[in-house]
Amino acid sequence: MKSDVKMQGNWGEDRLRLILEMEGLQSHIDYDFQKRLADREEEATKIPTSS
């Protein structure tokens, strides 16, 4: 089940990227996707929060 949720999330991010590009927006200029950091000690992926 977890892989299904991940697959849906990836699909949604891909659709959003396509929509933004069709509207003329450019990655890293007009928008950025969430950054993910690998935590090797905890063997996890983390998303940094804004301060």
DSSP E strands, 1-51: 37-39, 44-46
Q: Which two tokens stand for residue 15?
A: 């659709």
| Overall average pLDDT of the 23-32 stretch | 90
- Domain spans in the chain, listed from the N-terminal domain onward: 2-46
Radius of gyration of the chain (CA): 14
Confidence bin at 11 (pLDDT 50/70/90): very high
Predicted structure pTM score: 0.59
Query: What is the average pLDDT value for the chain, to the nearest integer?
Result: 81
